[in-house]
Homo-oligomer: A and B are copies of this chain.
Amino acid sequence: MLNIPALEKLVHELSRLPGIGPKTAQRLAYYVLKSKDTYPAQLTEALLRVQTEVHTCTECFNYTDRTICKYCDDSHRNSEILCLVEEPSDISRIESSGAFRGRYHVLHGVISPLEGITAKDLKINELMKKIDAGVAGEKTTIKEVIFAFDADLEGDTTALYLTKILQGKGLKISRIAHGIPMGSDIDFIDDRTMGRALDNRVEL
């Protein structure tokens, strides 16, 4: 429709980004064009830097520009508790709550038969090795594993699978609670969330 292959290519590449539809991608591409003298060079440089400098932590598979990430490098953290997350971005969400001071392990995905993602595609082998060996550097034995997965089918499947293969290792296994979000109105809560909130009620 734009009839300019170079512009169409840029729109196509931008629309591959999550949450960016063709219409938004077109708007972004026009912005790139409008600031052609300064912006594309800056963005290109940023892309290149990320490509060369950022990689996964050898310990927990979070993103880092060093060998091990700042959470694995922090000796004040409790190495007995390991929190499993789907993606590195989940870590910053958990960190900003300030409620967790243990270690992390990033699976880089969840089991999803629909998308053809099996346990082998995730960092599960690495997890088992870590649990068998304790957290490297300190050789502390891991005593508790917390699953912090999304509250969807894939998250449930992954939690179920991991529970199975972690059984018999003498670990305390838990999953972050599902329930009514803080500050929200009970009137507007959906049935499944309300069901979970009742099932998982906490004794006072």
On A, residues with C-beta under 8 Å from B are: 1-7, 9-10, 12-14, 16-20, 24, 26-34, 36, 39-54, 63-65, 70, 87-89, 92, 96, 108
Contact = CB atoms under 8 A, between A and B. Distances in A.
Contact of A92 (B2, B17, B48): B2
Contacts of A39: 13, 16
Given A17-B28, A31-B18, A33-B54, A4 B63 contact: yes
Contacts of A45: 9
Contacts of A12: 46
Contacts of A53: 4-6
A49 B9 CA distance: 9
20 contacts: A5-B65, A6-B54, A7-B63, A9-B45, A9-B50, A10-B46, A13-B43, A17-B31, A18-B27, A18-B28, A19-B28, A20-B28, A27-B89, A30-B89, A34-B108, A40-B47, A40-B48, A40-B51, A44-B47, A44-B48
B4 A32 contact: no
